[in-house]
Chains A and B, each alone.
Chain A
Amino acid sequence: MRFVTTIIIGAGQSGLAMSRHLTARSIDHVVLERGEVANSWRTERWDSLRLLTPNWQSRLPGYAYDGPDSDGFMAMPEVVRYLGRYADVSGAPVVTGTRVTKVRLAPGGYQVSTSQRPWQCRTLVIASGACNIAAIPSQTAGLRHTVNSLTPMQYRNPGVLADGGVMIVGASASGMQLAREIHASGRHVVLSIGEHVRMPRTYRGRDIQWWMDAIGAMDVRYDAVEDIERARHLPSLQLVGTPERVTIDLNSLRKSGVELVGRLVGLGDGKAQFSGSLANNCALADLKMNRLLASIDDWVDENGFADRFPASYRYEPTDVGPKTRLSIDLQDSGIRTVIWATGYRPDYSWLDVPVLDRKGRIRHDGGIVAAPGMYVMGLPFMRRRKSSFIDGAGDDAADLAAHLSHNLDRAAA
């Protein structure tokens, strides 16, 4: 058994940012990593994926992008190198190849069992990510064995798919990108769409992420929004990172030939059934997007910057057409694969401390978990809108490191 003041679980952006702050506060700690630094980015992403945020926005404590293309979007190997270099320059005490298998309460802290040696610590930071498991609806059970079923975590490129058509369930960033890529490979693609967040890649000459950063939207705190539960469960923005800065939306997918249908509500007897609520989900997304664009326009006007940017404009409303199908016979339609782009959730199966709510979510107040000396990082809108972004790890780590340090001091006093 080895003792250390703080254990950080996970060497991604959150764990590394926290390590940097703990080092600055001279708090002895280790970062336990199941694989290598940036493991999820390394092993659980499809080939063509790029970050949805521009390079300049991958700011971490004491570290920033200094390459030639600050407005570009990193491909996964670049993200892995970027975080690997951060771990090096920070001198982060990462213990790789060490999977945490159990965390239990112990006198004055936590006992951490791993695939290697066991550890004990006084404080614990869970930075193992928000997207460990693909959240798949119960409807998968109704799928026939002749149809392949996979998640975006298993998908790599269209070449791995069986011949034939593909139904993609879910129209957030993952589903939209996969629909675009798989359709471009010459397959029939049906995209099932529930609630979604429409977002243009650029607006008035700037990247949308630049705007959200500029107007302060990314820094909005969790205790300043009216319905934080809702904000935390919003689907990811319909964005893709490409060198051409293309906007991906339902209009462009439909125009290219992707078949749009409503939310999947039934699967059985070889048939898929879809909700009739598609038009309203699109209306909600258009209105929400326009509210964001209006708040950007307001910010420009209030700051007297109107002459610095092109004039304001609006995008075409989403048009899914009058005849979206409510049910599809998968076999008749040649659908051989279903991809469940229905979201992700964290894995806490190793966490043997009663801090989960009835839906299996960790109970926390801005990352301060409902157990002494326990913290979590990197969850959607955890302390700020940017909490689950690389760019958000730094501010959260600063806040939580201060709290953690204060906790230790109090215990020592």
Chain B
Amino acid sequence: MTNTNSISTAAKVDNGVNVSALLQAREALQQAPEAAQFKWRAACEWVSGTHSRSAIGSFFGLGAEQSRNKTFSLEADHPQVFAAEDHAPTPVEILLSGLAGCLTAGVAAIAQRRGIQLHSVKASLEADMDIQGILGIDDDVRNGFGAIRVHFDIRADASDDDIKALVAQSQKRSAVFDIITNPTNVFVTVN
């Protein structure tokens, strides 16, 4: 009966997320966990200076190669204060946008699932960095962020606590949030 309720509520709500497809996928993958093994890829080529261009195309999942009908291109560079030409955002800014994109997608999907109509979702992110780390000035300073702050401004047909719960649940189920908050083994090889 709980199910019937949430589905009938959800039917009136449209955040552009196909929740029933996601739920079906979840159900199917519970029966076949091997199909849940995905591989994500990116290829990057140096352009000049600190400017590089990444191509993002196929990935592996559901037991097969998944090709897209296009290849996305993403450029990275560094700003002029780093004596670079500022052709594109810095990789750390791209990382912040990755976190924002992941959390925002989660908010939309969870809102749909919970029958909450969204009107607007805006996130602003800021991260602290002491660049004495990357410049090798002080070994006690880490290269990466000291802290990341994310602020969400959400308009939705829901109480403040229900909106906060969307954002909290989105963090709980976010891949990028997990990647940033927990260690990951990184293996780099050279030909």
Residues in A lying within 8 Å of B, measured CB to CB: 195, 224-226, 262, 265-266, 273, 275-277, 280, 283-284, 287, 290-291, 322, 358
Residues in B lying within 8 Å of A, measured CB to CB: 1-3, 6, 33, 147, 161, 164-165, 168-169, 171-172, 177-178, 180-183
The answer to whether B2 and A276 have CB atoms under 8 Å apart is no
The answer to whether A290 and B161 have CB atoms under 8 Å apart is yes
Partner of B6, one of A226, A277, A283, A290: A226
The answer to whether B171 and A280 have CB atoms under 8 Å apart is yes
The answer to whether B168 and A275 have CB atoms under 8 Å apart is no
The answer to whether A291 and B161 have CB atoms under 8 Å apart is yes
Q: Closest approach, in angstroms, between the C-beta of B94 and any C-beta of chain A?
A: 19
Partner of B168, one of A262, A266, A283: A283
Instruction: Name the residue on B nearest A322 (C-beta).
Output: B147
Between-chain CB contacts (< 8 Å), 25 pairs: A224-B1, A225-B2, A226-B3, A262-B181, A265-B183, A266-B183, A273-B183, A275-B182, A276-B180, A277-B171, A277-B172, A277-B177, A277-B181, A280-B168, A280-B171, A280-B177, A283-B164, A283-B168, A284-B165, A284-B169, A287-B161, A287-B164, A287-B165, A287-B168, A322-B147
The answer to whether B182 and A265 have CB atoms under 8 Å apart is yes
The answer to whether A280 and B172 have CB atoms under 8 Å apart is yes
Q: In the complex, what distance in Å separates the CA atom of A411 from the CA atom of B182?
A: 55
Partner of A224, one of B2, B169, B182: B2
Residues of B contacting A280 with CB < 8 Å?
Answer: 168, 171-172, 177
Q: In the complex, what distance in Å separates the CA atom of A291 from the CA atom of B164?
A: 12
Residues of B contacting A358 with CB < 8 Å?
Answer: 33
Instruction: Name the residue on B nearest A290 (C-beta).
Output: B161
Q: In the complex, what distance in Å separates the CA atom of A284 from the CA atom of B164?
A: 9
Best-surrounded residue of B3, B172, B181, B183 (most CB of chain A within 10 A): B181
Partner of A226, one of B2, B164, B181, B183: B2
Given contacts A276-B180, A280-B171, A287-B165, 17 further A-B contacts (CB under 8 A): A195-B172, A224-B1, A226-B6, A262-B181, A265-B183, A266-B183, A275-B181, A276-B181, A276-B182, A277-B177, A277-B181, A280-B172, A280-B177, A284-B168, A287-B161, A290-B161, A358-B33
Q: In the complex, what distance in Å separates the CA atom of A224 from the CA atom of B5?
A: 12
Residues of B contacting A224 with CB < 8 Å?
Answer: 1-2
Q: In the complex, what distance in Å separates the CA atom of A304 from the CA atom of B49?
A: 73
Q: In the complex, what distance in Å separates the CA atom of A224 from the CA atom of B3?
A: 9
Q: In the complex, what distance in Å separates the CA atom of A226 from the CA atom of B3?
A: 7
Q: In the complex, what distance in Å separates the CA atom of A360 from the CA atom of B182?
A: 27
Q: Closest approach, in angstroms, between the C-beta of B173 and any C-beta of chain A?
A: 11
Instruction: Name the residue on A nearest B30 (C-beta).
Output: A229
Instruction: Name the residue on A nearest B165 (C-beta).
Output: A287
Residues of A contacting B3 with CB < 8 Å?
Answer: 226
Instruction: Name the residue on A nearest B167 (C-beta).
Output: A283
Instruction: Name the residue on B nearest A226 (C-beta).
Output: B2
Q: Closest approach, in angstroms, between the C-beta of A381 and any C-beta of chain B?
A: 15
Q: Closest approach, in angstroms, between the C-beta of A326 and any C-beta of chain B?
A: 9
Q: In the complex, what distance in Å separates the CA atom of A290 from the CA atom of B181?
A: 26
Q: In the complex, what distance in Å separates the CA atom of A265 from the CA atom of B181?
A: 10
Instruction: Name the residue on A nearest B181 (C-beta).
Output: A276
Q: In the complex, what distance in Å separates the CA atom of A287 from the CA atom of B158?
A: 14
Q: Closest approach, in angstroms, between the C-beta of B17 and any C-beta of chain A?
A: 18
Residues of A contacting B165 with CB < 8 Å?
Answer: 284, 287, 291
Q: Closest approach, in angstroms, between the C-beta of A186 and any C-beta of chain B?
A: 32
Q: Closest approach, in angstroms, between the C-beta of A195 and any C-beta of chain B?
A: 8
